[in-house]
């Protein structure tokens, strides 16, 4: 292990872009398939891993939604969440803000409350047993309709105190942020923070829409913003945090080679970049692996790695006192 990898391992960090369904490891998928008597189209863990060879976002999403079919009970969601937090704690993640896709489950007949109560139980255990704090972000599937998103927001109302925000994910091209302008306005009126995947595969126009029409508090991915200098200036001027996911970008062919990843240029231009794992069970690594592989590919310095860890707390939805406390931990670590 290089010194830089040891430095990454110990760096206190937050994870701000993690789909809990994307942390379903093949081993747990098999265990849940057996526990729930659900058929899956694979006969071994190795066969599942071999199927994780994607040429674009949709290729991945088809497998990701199929994998989620094994999740049925409150215990399943608790087990899924706690398994993620064990991995996160091992990477010295101190705080995580995790997405879940309720429509993936309610459309299969799993009650909204079963999903939320299970995830919250896993999050509570993570805090008690691992000391990792967390927040839950309800993400709308953008390939579904505005009406379906509104219906999901209504289902969320009794559980509102459990959520820090809403997100927007799934197939980006053909489903611009404008489709969800009214849903996001309603979510904001309910006191929720706003995140959206933008500029992962979609054009810079979608990123402008996420800013101008959805009024997002945080941007997920944002890679294609780099094609538009005026957009980059706007992102820098607003102090917008981007949750960038290097291994995901490579696996989904958003970048052909990790050596060409835009993070160094984003940092040079003054964008508040954070590094995250997106769907670690599918993309080959949890958050530290994203730091490590990107650092090796593009040659990041300790200062740049420290800045991104600092950004991860600054760009979180923690309150100001908690942010200051966590950032002081990052700085104390970096100074040793």
Q: How far is CA 164 from CA 36, 122, 267, in A?
A: 31, 16, 27
Binding partner of 15, given Zn ion, ligand ADE, none, CB within 5-8 angstroms per partner class:
none
Does 167 bind ligand ADE (CB under 6 A)? Our answer is no
Helices (H), the chain: 3-10, 26-36, 45-50, 57-67, 74-90, 102-106, 112-125, 146-156, 181-189, 204-212, 229-238, 246-251, 263-268, 280-283, 287-298, 302-314, 320-335
Smallest gap from Cβ 195 to Zn ion, in A, equals: 10
Q: Judged by CB under 5 A, does residue 97 bind Zn ion?
A: no
Does 169 contact ligand ADE by CB under 6 A? yes
CA distance 262 to 206: 18
CB of 64 or CB of 291, closer to ligand ADE: 64
Tell whether residue 222 is a contact of ligand ADE (CB under 6 A): no
164 is a site residue for ligand ADE (CB under 6 A): no
Shortest Å, Cβ 243 to ligand ADE: 10
170, interface contact from ligand ADE, Zn ion, none, CB < 5-8 Å by kind: ligand ADE
Residues paired with residue 275 on neighbouring β-strands, in sequence order: 244
- Which residue number has the CB closest to ligand ADE? 169
Site map (CB under 5 A) of Zn ion, residues 261-280, x = contact: -----------------x--
**Set 21, 172, 200, 209: catalytic member:** 200
Residues 87, 319: contact at Cβ < 8 Å?
A: no
Q: How many residues bind Zn ion (CB under 5 A)?
A: 1
Contacts of 168 (CB under 8 A, 6+ apart): 139, 140, 142, 177, 180, 184, 195, 196, 197, 214
> Is 170 a residue that touches ligand ADE (CB under 6 A)?
yes
Shortest distance in whole angstroms from residue 107 CB to ligand ADE: 15
| Distance of alpha carbon 25 from alpha carbon 17, whole angstroms | 17
Q: Contacting ligand ADE (CB under 6 A), which of 92, 248, 274, 316?
A: 248
- Told to check if 279 binds ligand ADE by CB under 6 A, we report yes
Q: What are φ and ψ of residue 152, in 5° steps?
A: -65, -40
Residue (of 200, 150, 205) closest to 177 by Cα position: 205
Residues that bind Zn ion (CB under 5 A): 278
Binding-site sequence positions for Zn(2+): 17, 19, 197, 278
- What residues act catalytically? 200
């Amino acid at each position: 292990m290089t010194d830089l990898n040891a430095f990454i391992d110990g760096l206190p960090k937050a994870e701000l872009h993690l789909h809990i369904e994307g942390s379903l490891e093949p081993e747990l998928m098999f265990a849940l398939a057996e526990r729930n008597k659900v058929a899956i189209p694979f006969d071994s863990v190795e066969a599942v891993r071999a199927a994780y060879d994607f040429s674009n976002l949709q290729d991945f999403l088809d497998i990701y939604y199929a994998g989620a079919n094994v999740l049925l009970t409150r215990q399943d969601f608790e087990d899924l969440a706690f398994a993620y937090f064990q991995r996160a704690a091992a990477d010295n993640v101190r705080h995580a803000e995790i997405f879940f896709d309720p429509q993936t489950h309610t459309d299969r007949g799993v009650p909204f409350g079963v999903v939320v109560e299970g995830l919250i139980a896993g999050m509570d255990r993570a805090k008690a047993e691992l000391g990792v704090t967390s927040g839950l972000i309800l993400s709308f599937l953008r390939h579904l309709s505005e009406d379906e998103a509104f219906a999901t927001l209504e289902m969320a109302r009794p559980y509102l105190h459990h959520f820090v925000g809403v997100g927007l994910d799934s197939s980006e091209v053909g489903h611009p942020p404008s489709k969800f302008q009214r849903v996001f306005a309603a979510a904001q009126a309910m006191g929720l923070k706003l995140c959206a995947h933008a500029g992962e595969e979609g054009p810079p126009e979608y990123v402008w829409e996420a800013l101008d029409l959805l009024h997002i508090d945080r941007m997920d991915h944002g890679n294609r913003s780099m094609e538009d200098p005026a957009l980059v200036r706007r992102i820098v001027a607003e102090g917008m945090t981007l949750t960038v996911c290097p291994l995901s970008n490579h696996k989904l062919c958003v970048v052909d080679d990790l050596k060409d990843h835009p993070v160094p240029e984003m940092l040079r231009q003054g964008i508040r970049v954070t590094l995250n794992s997106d769907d670690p069970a599918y993309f080959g690594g949890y958050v530290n692996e994203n730091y490590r592989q990107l650092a090796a590919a593009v040659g990041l310095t300790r200062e740049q790695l420290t800045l991104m860890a600092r950004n991860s707390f600054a760009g979180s939805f923690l309150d100001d006192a908690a942010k200051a406390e966590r950032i002081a931990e990052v700085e104390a670590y970096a100074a040793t």
